Amino acid sequence: MSVIDELTGELARLPGIGRKTALRLTFHLLKAPAEEAQRLSRAITAVRERVRACERCGNLTEQSPCAICTNTRREHGLVCVVEEASDIMAIERTGEYRGMYHVLGGRLSPLDGIGPAELNVRPLLERLKEGEVREVVLATNPSVEGEATALYLHKLIAPAGVRVTRIARGLPVGGDLEYADGVTIAEALNGRREL
């Protein structure tokens, strides 16, 4: 296999990129200055080497604990629970939320083999034991599975005695938080309710 085929093949494995686009990208990189291709290659390597999950919240970060967890100007008594780290970026884009986060790494989806044991819940419960947290906002996706996951978490968290809220369903049902617009996300955060 030629190196052209090899790169095209690798690019085509990326989400949203078909065979044709992959070939176009390959030829673009061949025509552009060598430095451009090297920068891309270095950036890919650096991302894989340096980015990992924050030990405290699960956010993707180069330093653990992440910049959100170590920011003393944010509200440490407020924790927003999301399904994926990419949801944090969506919420941060709104600029409306000043609390902390916790990444579950998924949602209850029994048919796909994702049960309570597969969710990253323990670090959250341990954090609640420390006593600083006074409210947990459940921001799982507005889907049947996201809703059931929120209920499950509520049941686990309730004994800790903190306030538990759920973001309002202003978001499109069955949609994905990551792709929602900032106004909708901000509205949903404002309208959070008691479970």
Partner 1 sequence: MPLVSTRALVLQTFPYSETSKILRLFTWEHGLRSVIAKGALRPRSRFGGVLEPFTEGTAQIYLKEGRELQTLSGFDLLRSRQALGRSLAAFAGASLMAEVAIRTGTEDPQPALYAELAAGWDSIAAAADEAAAEAAVLGGAWRIVSLVGFEPQTDACVVCGRDAAPDKPVRFDAEAGGVACTSCRPVGRLIDPQSRAELRRMIRGLPLNAPLGRPGLHRALLRTFLEMQLAHGKPFRSLELFMTGMEEA
Instruction: Give the residue with the Cβ less far from partner 1, 1 or 117.
Output: 117
Cβ atoms < 10 Å from Cβ of 161: 10
> What are the strands, taking DSSP E only, across 4-162?
52-53, 60-61, 78-82, 100-103, 135-138
The structure tokens listed for 171 are 């978001």
59: Cα within 13 Å, side-chain hemisphere: 24
| Angle, helix 19-31 to helix 3-12, in steps of 10 degrees | 130
Q: Considering only residues 22, 66, 88, 119, which one is a binding residue for Zn ion as defined by CB under 5 A?
A: 66
Q: Considering only residues 1, 2, 3, 16, which one is a binding residue for partner 1 as defined by CB under 8 A?
A: 16
Instruction: Give the residue with the Cβ less far from partner 1, 110 or 161.
Output: 110
Beta 100-103 vs 78-82: how paired, if at all?
A: parallel
**Contact track, Zn ion, 6-45, x by CB under 5 A:** ----------------------------------------
One-letter amino acid for residue 62 of the chain: E
Q: Considering only residues 116, 131, 161, 191, which one is a binding residue for partner 1 as defined by CB under 8 A?
A: 116
Q: Considering only residues 9, 115, 131, 161, which one is a binding residue for partner 1 as defined by CB under 8 A?
A: 115
Indicate which of Zn ion, partner 1, none lies near residue 69 (CB less than 5 to 8 Å, by partner kind): Zn ion
* Smallest separation (angstroms) from Zn ion to the CB of 79: 11
CA 140 – CA 81 distance, rounded (Å): 7
Of residues 53-112, those binding partner 1 (CB under 8 A): 108-112
Q: Does 148 bind partner 1 (CB under 8 A)?
A: yes
Instruction: Give the residue with the Cβ less far from partner 1, 127 or 166.
Output: 166
Residue range at the interface with Zn ion (CB under 5 A); choices 59-67, 128-136, 142-150, 164-172 = 59-67
| Helix (H/G/I), strand (E/B), else coil: 176 | coil
Q: Nearest to residue 102, comparing CAs of 118, 115, 121, 130?
A: 121
Residue 111: φ, ψ to 5°:
-70, -25
Characterise 88 by phi-psi region: left (phi > 0), alpha (psi -120 to 50), beta (else): alpha
Point out which residues bind Zn ion (CB under 5 A). Answer: 54, 56-57, 59, 65-66, 69
Point out which residues bind partner 1 (CB under 8 A). Answer: 15-16, 108-113, 115-117, 142-148, 151-152, 155-156, 172-176, 179-181
